[in-house]
Amino acid sequence: MNALEIRGLTKRFGGLVAVDSLDLVLPEGGLVGLIGPNGAGKTTVFNLVSGLYPPDAGSILVRDHDLAGHPPHEVARHGIARTFQNIRLFGSLTALDNVRVGAHMVCGGSYLSAILGGRQSRDLDRRTREQAMQVLHDIGIERYANELASSLPYGVQRKLEIARALASSPSVLLLDEPACGMNPQETAELRDLVSRLLQEWKLSILLIEHDMRFVMGICQTIYVLDYGKTIACGPPEAIRNDPAVIEAYLGDAVH
């Protein structure tokens, strides 16, 4: 069973084909990397999958549902969570509240009960608070719970964004350059975190990353995009020696 299956996904911006009939399979519990030079269309793929852009063609299958063209909040309801390349936290909310927004869908509770301060709403609120604290604890940043998100150190912000995504109890996690701007120690921590997400949280992860050592070290399968097209796909060793990939990254001069 595949956690996510993309077939013939295409997105055009005017005359530019940003993503050209992409086929991609993310197996249940798998970790798939998406790499390619700048402007290859990697983040566009994420924006298509998470519903921020409507695709021009193709399908995005999650458990037999085709999510192509659905709005983001519906895609999220099917268990797809993501992080952003340029961190998009809710800056003036505390770390805890950021995670509590992540738990929005799984929290429940009607509007009326909320504005009348009903018992149902208050009980749910307390439970969400505990769950959010648990997530912060699991990611190892619970001591920042009451700090404003915008005031946190960069590495913690990256982790908080992952924590927020986890709070929505996803089955598929899309990580957009999680190691971007991290120092070697933070990158090592992130690698541990990602493997824990796979093992303990039973997530399937699709990862965009520029740090080649990071990607080659942890991904089972790698897709290489260039100008919106898949130029290679396979296990890390095969990708490393693929002439088309080397050419895309380094240009013809190598030959």
Partner 1 sequence: MDLARILRFAAVITLLLALQALFASGLVNPYYIRVLILCCFSVMLAVSLNIIIGYAGQFSIGHAGFYAVGAYTAGAFTVYAGPPIRQALPLDRLPGWLEGTAFLMAAICVGTLFAALAGLAVGLPSLRLRGDYLAIATLGFGEMIRVVIQNVEAVGGPRGFSGIPIYSSFFWASLFAVAIVWIARNLARSRHGRALLAIREDETAASVLGVNVTKHKVAAFVLSSALAGCAGALYAHYEGYLEPRSFDFIRSIEIIIMVVIGGMGSTTGAVIAAVILTLIPELLRGLAEYRMVIYSALLVLFMLVRPQGLFGTWELSWETLRTRWEKRLERP
Q: Residue 122 CB, nearest distance to partner 1 (Å)?
A: 8
Relative orientation angle of helices 95-102 and 154-166, to the nearest 10 degrees: 30
DSSP, residue by residue, 161-201: HHHHHHTT--SEEEEESTTTT--HHHHHHHHHHHHHHHHTS
Amino acid at 50: S
Q: Which is nearer to partner 1, 58 or 102 (CB)?
A: 102
- Give the one residue of 14, 111, 200, 254 binding partner 1; rule: CB under 8 A: 111
Cβ contact 209:179 at 8 Å: yes
Q: Which is nearer to partner 1, 63 or 229 (CB)?
A: 63
Q: Which is nearer to partner 1, 46 or 223 (CB)?
A: 46
- Give the one residue of 8, 13, 23, 71 binding partner 1; rule: CB under 8 A: 71
- Give the one residue of 100, 141, 205, 223 binding partner 1; rule: CB under 8 A: 100
Q: Which is nearer to partner 1, 75 or 198 (CB)?
A: 75
- Give the one residue of 119, 200, 252, 255 binding partner 1; rule: CB under 8 A: 119
The reply to whether 158 sits near partner 1 by the rule CB under 8 A is no
**Residue count at the site for partner 1 (CB under 8 A)?**
41
Separation between Cα atoms, residue 32 and residue 29, nearest integer Å:
10
The reply to whether 6 sits near partner 1 by the rule CB under 8 A is no
Compute how many other C-beta atoms are within 10 angstroms of the C-beta atom of residue 138. 16
Sign of CA pseudo-dihedral 197, 200, 201, 204: positive
Rg (CA), the chain: 19
Residues in contact with partner 1 by CB under 8 A are: 50-52, 71-73, 75-77, 81-82, 84, 88-93, 97, 100-105, 107, 109, 111, 114-117, 119, 121, 124-125, 128, 146, 164-165, 168
